[in-house]
Structure formats: C-alpha cells, structure tokens
Amino acid sequence: MKWLVFFSLSNTVWAGVQFLGVSIAGGDFGCQIDGSCPTGSTQLPLSSFGQGGGDGDGQMKHFVQDDGINMFRLPISWQSLVNNKLGGTLDANNFAKYDKLVQACLATGAHCMVEIHNFARWNGAIIGQSSGTVTDEHFVSLWSQIATKYARNDKIVFELMNEPHDLDVPMWAATCQKVIAAIRGVGATTQIILLPGTNFDSAAMLVSSGSAEALMALTNPDGTTDNLLLDIHKYLDVDNSGTHAECVTNNTAAFGEVAEFLRRIGRKGIVSETGAAPGGSSCLAKFCEQNAFINANSDAFIGLVTWAAGSFGTSYLLSATPSKQGGKFVNNGLMAQCVVGTWKDAPDSVHPIPTSLAITASLSPTTAASNIQSAASNSEKASEIAAPITSTTQTGQSALILPTPTGPTDTPTTLILAPGISSVLTSDSRAASAVPTTTAGSGRATTTPSGAPTATTSITRSASGSWSTNLQSPTGKLWAILGLFLVAAAL
C-alpha cells in the first residue's frame, strides 16, 4: 500500500512568503480607472517572440534562475481579450498573443497570475451596478472562457480584477460569487482565485470598508473556501497611487490590520501589487521595511508581487525591469535589496511543513528510513526557497492546497501519516499545508479509514503569533522518529 508521510523535524522552518513575484506589465497599457482600455495602447512584453514590447520572456527566466522568484502577474485588459466586444468570445488572435506570454511564464516553472486590469468597469460602467450596461453575466462569460482555457493547469492563478473602486461592496461580492461558481464549474477547481476589494484594493481600507469580510464570506460551489484568497494592494507614496517618487510610509500598520483580520478567521491573502521608486531617496528604507514586515507575517500573507517589469523601461518611476549589462540581466538596487533581499533574509519561523518534506512513497522500513534522512538533509534548503504544499492532479501539475478553516486559530495542528496515492489534503490535514492553518482540537492520535494507526504531533501558535512544536525537545524528536519507524516496520 502507498502512504503519504507528513512529518516535522525540529529544524523545519519557513522563511518569508511562499510566493515572491513581479508584474510583467504591458497588456494593461492604456487602461484608465474608468475601465476604458484602448486596445491600440497594449504592449504585451513579447519582443523575444518578434511581437514588440519588452522582453518578458527573458526577464522571467532571469528572475526565476537568478533570484528564485516563483510567481508572475500578467495584466491584460478585458477589451483586448474580446477585441472590444462586450459579452463576446475571446478573440482568437488577441488571446493567442496573451497566451504566448502565459506559456512563457509557465515554462519557467513559476505560478502565473491572469489578471483583468479594468478597475471593475467597462468603459465607465461598473460591473453589475450600471443599470444593465455591463452585467454580471458579461463578467461571468469572460471568466468562464478564460478558466476553460487554463482549467487543467494548477499553476495558473485567477486575479478577478485589478483595483475595484467606488462601488457597492455587497453587490461586488455577489458578482465575485457568481464568477467563482463559473470558474469552478468549468473544471478549474484547484487554482487560486484572488478576491479584490474596493478603494483600489488598498490594504489600508480592506477591513474598514467591509470588503475583506464580504469577500472572505464567499465560497466554492461545495461550500468550502479552499484556494479563495484575499487580494491586497498598497503603495507607499502620499496618496497610495504609486505615482510619486517619494515614500511617506512603510505600511506596517495597514498590513498589520489585514494580517490580524486574516488570522482571526483562519484565512490567507496575497499582496499582488506594491512598489516604490528606485530613485526615491526615502523609498529604500521604507520599501525594505514594508516587505520585511510582509515576509515576517507569512502566516497571513502567502505572496508578495512587486510592480513592475515587462514592457516598462528602466527609467519608469516604479521600474522593477532589470537592465542588460554584459549580456546579462541585472536588478536595480531597490529590487535587489527590498524585494529579493528581504525575502532571502527573512528570519526563520516555525510553520507547517513545506512540500519538500512531504514524502510520497511505497514504504518499506528501509525506504522510510531513507526518506526521513533525505528530508532532514533538505530542510535547510526548504527554509531558503519557499515552496507550497502541493497536490498531484490528473495532469501531473502541482496544485496549491489552502483548505477551508475548520476551527479557532489558536489551536494545535495535527501532522498525520495517512494512506493514499495522491497528496491532496483534506480540510482536516491542516499541518500538512505550507502555511499556518488550523484545525479544531489538539494534537491527537487518529486512525486512517482502514484502521491503521497514524503518527501525530502538534504545532501551536500562541496569542503573540509565535509558533512552537513539541518536536523541539529531544524527547519529542525521539518519539516522532521512533513512531515513524514503528509504523513503517509494521507495514
């Protein structure tokens, strides 16, 4: 019989967010906050394919290979995808170009965020709130078609909309609920869906506006909230617009409020857009402080995506575009220090077990011992390169599992040894998730459906947010290792 082994070692740590990313912009060029996006302004970053714009393909390869970045945000306008035909089908030519960028992203091994850059509008009319001008059905149709294209690829992330603003929050949440149902209904059941709030999705307003509460109440068709994440944006300039060279805040108060909200309800979010001016004299310190804070709160925030590279030149105010020097891409100082640097330098904190320590094997006692030794030797690498817990789907892709919370947030989490042929986790397999999630009850002995014993341990988060595990003591280590060997021997 095949078994899934999920276990923890005392030096298992999680440093920083799981996903570090960059926006590869250009498909959004020309978009205004009223949702008008002239298709003639689009500059998809496909120069390496002979189609103009920046070298998005080369940039993404550099970011992955040289910096370990593992997520890219790929903005595109609604108008471009349907060639200005509201309610129409995806334009074959325009979508093929955009998909070329998506495929270049996927080829790097990174997660790729499909994002509609229309501010919850179409040419001035708010989705579902404009007396029939642009309806929920129009928006559902768009996302149904996109999700159908990518339903079998688990590394696609669906960001429903860029920066909604000046709208009715309950109505917007109802619109998003319809889109969630449509996406899941076409078979895209394992992808992350990012849910954005009003006030340009600002971290400073997500909680107070009621957006966070309304959006986190949305569910998948089966009633779970698996892989439904809060979308979060924030800039550091005086009006949160990202249009000024100087930074006036490090945003720790704003992000702290969102983190506490997410902890309280046992949910997660991704900071999918933030940035600062490389030339701003006040930005280096504040942007680094902000990103260090986000990484230190990786139990709430699983990703951080900076704005922006792609078709932006290196002279753009908020440029994260690397320069070409001696035939190689080189990051600017802000990108190197405040994005990549704060992630790699994030202090270690004890979190539930990362993918590299989740072993699937046909266990004989010899195999079990070998896997335990291998996992222990890889734990240092796991602390440096964040990788989410994954599931194996029919297509062999890796699917992130962020299950529905089932209990209060200050309860221990159980690590289980369970039978199976897939690493798909249930809502009760909290500690096998790569982010701090919880289950009701305490660390307990359980049994598998076949009645085989399961090895358990617990990880507990205190009220202060720190994590501890009973494997930190010599006795705990010994019993955990002995337990695994005994179970393996019994097989």
Structure tokens at 472: 């930190």
Question: Which of 420, 311, 298 has its CA nearest to residue 347?
Answer: 298
Phi-psi map region of 412: left, alpha, beta (phi>0 left; psi -120 to 50 alpha): beta
Do residues 251 and 397 share a domain? no
Please report the beta strands in 131-226, taking only residues with DSSP state E, as ranges in sequence order: 156-159, 192-195
- Residue 112, classed as helix, strand or coil, is strand
Q: Where among 314, 344, 374 does a domain terminate?
A: 344
Do residues 466 and 354 share a domain? yes
Do residues 386 and 415 share a domain? yes
* Per-residue confidence (pLDDT) for residue 370, from 0 to 100: 37
CB 415 within 8 A of CB 351: no
What are 309's strand-pairing partners? 24
Catalytic residue among 137, 163, 289, 380: 163
CB 448 within 8 A of CB 454: yes
End-to-end CA, the chain: 8
Query: Rounded to an integer, what distance in angstroms lies between the CA atom of residue 15 and that of residue 346?
Result: 5
pLDDT averaged over 10-residue windows placed end to end, the chain, 491 residues: 30 71 98 98 95 96 98 99 98 98 99 99 98 97 99 98 99 99 99 99 99 99 98 98 97 99 98 96 96 98 99 98 97 98 79 30 33 35 32 44 59 31 27 29 27 31 34 46 53 52
Q: What is the CATH number of the domain that holds 189?
A: 3.20.20.80
Do residues 210 and 291 share a domain? yes
Please report the beta strands in 206-347, taking only residues with DSSP state E, as ranges in sequence order: 228-233, 269-274, 301-310, 323-325, 328-330
Question: Which of 292, 224, 286, 197 has its CA nearest to residue 250?
Answer: 286
CB 81 within 8 A of CB 90: yes
Do residues 44 and 102 share a domain? yes
* Per-residue confidence (pLDDT) for residue 13, from 0 to 100: 40
* Per-residue confidence (pLDDT) for residue 170, from 0 to 100: 99
289 has catalytic annotation: no
Question: Which of 467, 246, 480 has its CA nearest to residue 372?
Answer: 480
What pTM was estimated for this model as a whole? Answer: 0.73
Do residues 406 and 315 share a domain? no
Query: Rounded to an integer, what distance in angstroms lies between the CA atom of residue 189 and that of residue 151?
Result: 7
257 has catalytic annotation: no
* Per-residue confidence (pLDDT) for residue 489, from 0 to 100: 54
CB 305 within 8 A of CB 270: yes
| Cβ-Cβ contacts under 8 Å for 365 (sequence gap 6 or more) | 485, 488, 489, 491
* Per-residue confidence (pLDDT) for residue 461, from 0 to 100: 31
Residue type for position 460: T
- Residue 304, classed as helix, strand or coil, is strand
* Per-residue confidence (pLDDT) for residue 449, from 0 to 100: 29
Q: Where among 315, 344, 373 does a domain terminate?
A: 344
Do residues 264 and 396 share a domain? no
Q: Return the residue matching tokens 């291998």.
A: 374
Do residues 442 and 362 share a domain? yes
Structure tokens at 261: 């909200």
* Per-residue confidence (pLDDT) for residue 474, from 0 to 100: 46
* Per-residue confidence (pLDDT) for residue 491, from 0 to 100: 52
Count the neighbouring beta carbons within 10 Å of the beta carbon of residue 168: 13
Residue type for position 162: N
* Per-residue confidence (pLDDT) for residue 110, from 0 to 100: 99
Query: Rounded to an integer, what distance in angstroms lies between the CA atom of residue 209 and that of residue 197?
Result: 8
Total structural domains in the chain? 2
* Per-residue confidence (pLDDT) for residue 347, from 0 to 100: 76
Do residues 333 and 362 share a domain? no
Question: Which of 347, 327, 325, 343 has its CA nearest to residue 335?
Answer: 343
* Per-residue confidence (pLDDT) for residue 336, from 0 to 100: 98
Do residues 48 and 90 share a domain? yes
Rg (CA), the chain: 22
Q: Where among 323, 344, 365 does a domain terminate?
A: 344
CB 220 within 8 A of CB 266: no
Structure tokens at 464: 């202060």
Catalytic residue among 137, 273, 380, 384: 273
Do residues 317 and 402 share a domain? no
Do residues 138 and 229 share a domain? yes
* CB-based burial label for 4 (10 Å; 0-12, 13-18, 19+): buried
Count the neighbouring beta carbons within 10 Å of the beta carbon of residue 369: 16
Domain boundaries, position 447: 3-12+349-490
pLDDT tens across 338-394, in order?
A: 999 999 998 764 333 232 222 222 233 333 333 333 333 333 323 322 333 333 333
